[in-house]
């Protein structure tokens, strides 16, 4: 009788622990995410737009000159910071720069600029230029994380390209 009560108590305790650690957080997270999307909808929508589109800047300027302008025009650390999230360079090639925003243990988003690529435009034409895209992002409590940093990076990329070619215009490409 006592053994049965102990087994029943242990089983109930384990069920309670399972519920608290695995089931309840999913309900809370989904509810918090829905509330956050409702309250901060424009911020979330801007983040989704960054993740679902690419920016194309038609230009015939030399690849090396554009890459150098992007390196100097976008303020980014050379490696991931330890504590505070910041923009940092993941890799640089002759015609490509990869950035990330975050810190050593967590990353909010990844971005890339590819220089000297040819894009097929909606009107059927193709042009050479620079493609910039946020390639991967994360959500925190149902909201895309790092939207203000995405916005700042996109602005810096556009300014860097226009420092080399003032006539370059931004064309939004859907993904």
Question: Which DSSP helix (H) or strand (E) runs through 34?
Answer: helix 24-39
- Greater model confidence, 144 or 58: 58
Tens-digit pLDDT profile for residues 93-143: 989 999 999 998 888 999 999 999 988 877 888 889 999 999 988 877 667
Question: Which DSSP helix (H) or strand (E) runs through 100?
Answer: strand 96-102
According to DSSP, the β-strands at 143-144 and 126-137 are unpaired
The answer to whether residues 138 and 50 touch, using CB atoms and an 8 Å cutoff, is: no
- Greater model confidence, 40 or 111: 111
Tell me what pLDDT residue 147 has.
Answer: 85
Crossing angle for the helix pair 147-164 and 41-52, to the nearest 10 degrees: 50
Q: What's the chain's average pLDDT?
A: 83
How big is the chain, counted in residues? 175
Flag whether pLDDT at 153 surpasses 90: yes
- Domain map (residue ranges) of the chain: 40-174
Fold (CATH) for 40-174: Alpha-D-Glucose-1,6-Bisphosphate; Chain A, domain 4 (3.30.530)
């Amino acid at each position: 009788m006592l053994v049965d009560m102990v087994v029943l108590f242990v089983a109930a305790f384990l069920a309670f622990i399972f519920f608290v650690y695995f089931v309840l957080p999913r309900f809370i997270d989904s509810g918090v995410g829905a509330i956050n999307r409702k309250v901060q909808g424009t911020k979330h929508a801007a983040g989704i737009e960054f993740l679902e589109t690419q920016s194309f800047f038609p230009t015939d300027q030399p690849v090396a000159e554009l890459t150098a302008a992007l390196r100097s025009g976008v303020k980014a650390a050379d490696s991931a910071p330890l504590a505070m999230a910041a923009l940092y360079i993941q890799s640089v090639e002759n015609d490509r720069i990869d950035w990330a925003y975050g810190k050593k243990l967590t990353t909010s988003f990844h971005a890339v600029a590819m220089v000297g690529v040819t894009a097929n435009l909606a009107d059927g034409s193709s042009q050479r230029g620079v493609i910039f895209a946020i390639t991967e992002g994360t959500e925190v409590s149902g909201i895309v994380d790092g939207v203000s940093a995405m916005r700042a990076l996109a602005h810096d990329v556009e300014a860097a390209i226009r420092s080399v070619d003032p006539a370059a215009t931004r064309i939004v490409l859907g993904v």
